[in-house]
Structure 1
Amino acid sequence: MNETLVTLVGNAATAVEFRETATGGMARFRFAVTPRRWDRGKQLWADGRTSFYTVWSWRTLAANLAGSVSVGEPLVVHGRLKIREEEQAGQRRTFVDVEAVAVGHDLSRGTSAFRRTARAEGDLTERPERITEGDTKDEPNQPERAAVMAAVS
């Protein structure tokens, strides 16, 4: 399949809108990308023209975006580029969307704390290997690993 995958670095321009649908959650938000260039004549950095994208996400990614992203936060968005044209009020308009595959905070501009979400057994595409108590005897973090594995089981 020929898809155009892009990775964009920018900021959340709007709040994440989340909706529950028949097939799972759906979220969208506007994303602003402003290139910076070094102006040799003025000897300083100059901002270029800002491009705006609508970022769409589905299911688990959508729910996690709604709980994790606020307006103005620096993000890295990776996904499928979609260009669509529509006619509105007699004018032809072009919209650029990204169907997100992955979204994360841009750690070059701040810190973030990751929290894994619990998944329902039916959400797993593969069944994880079970670790028995005998498998954790010689490991330094045995109690923590056993607790995590009990939660997964």
Structure 2
Amino acid sequence: MNETMVCAVGNVATQPVYRDLAAGASARFRLAVTSRYWDREKGTWTDGHTNFFTVWANRQLATNAAASLNVGDPVMVQGRLRVRTESREGQQSWTSADIDAVAIGHDISRGTSAFRRSGRPEPMAVGAPARPEPNWETPAADAAEPEPDTPQSRRREPVAVT
């Protein structure tokens, strides 16, 4: 209920690791998020500090992430932030930031992407005809010229109400 939801924009830093577990599919990858700022002295954009997050995906999101993501892809990840601190005997303690992903997508402000649905195919009865493809073409225009769309053409005459 009181969870920290974040949206991180960065690049895939490691190839997603996919596991098919008894509880369902799971995938993880590292996300590099680098801040950028305008350096007035140099007059150029400069990279700042890079934060790394481990992104965890489950079920269908895990399957799709493993099939869609590669190292270097610009992505946006939305999910729950989990910050963990662990210490082991004889070792220095360490902190990690994980994101339990709810949604992952390519950042199309930095490139293009082609979306394909991955839903389950509908079962077809044996001998049933396939559904016809809908007609996506624009209907042909009538012989009469359509009235141009101008403010004058949109004016309506008042209608008397009795």
Equivalent residue for 1:92? 93
Does 2:107 correspond to 1:118?
no
Equivalent residue for 2:149? none
Any stretches of 5+ residues in structure 1 without a counterpart? Answer: 122-141, 147-153
Other structure's SS at 2:49 match: coil
Alignment of 1:42-61 (within 5 A): 42-61=42-61
Alpha-carbon offset, residue 120 of structure 1: 7.1
Number of corresponding residues: 126
Compute the RMSD of aligned alpha carbons: 1.8
Matches of 2:114 and 2:70, distance apart in 1: 14
Post-superposition Cα deviations, 1:54-112, rounded to whole Å, max 9, x if no partner, equal 00010000000000000011000000000011114421100000000000000010000
Matches of 2:62 and 2:76, distance apart in 1: 15
Query: TM-score w.r.t. structure 1 length?
Result: 0.78
Alignment of 1:70-89 (within 5 A): 70-88=70-88, 89=90
Out of 46-55 and 85-94, give the one that drifted further: 85-94
Equivalent residue for 2:133? 144
* Structure with the greater alpha carbon radius of gyration: 2
Other structure's SS at 1:65 match: helix
Alpha-carbon offset, residue 42 of structure 1: 1.3
Equivalent residue for 1:38? 38
Matches of 2:14 and 2:106, distance apart in 1: 15
Instruction: Calculate percent identity across the aligned residue pairs.
Output: 56
Other structure's SS at 1:34 match: strand
Matched residue type, 1:107: I
Any stretches of 5+ residues in structure 2 without a counterpart? Answer: 123-130, 136-162
Alpha-carbon offset, residue 23 of structure 1: 1.3
Alpha-carbon offset, residue 118 of structure 1: 2.0
Matches of 1:103 and 1:120, distance apart in 2: 23
Q: Which has the higher helix share?
A: 1
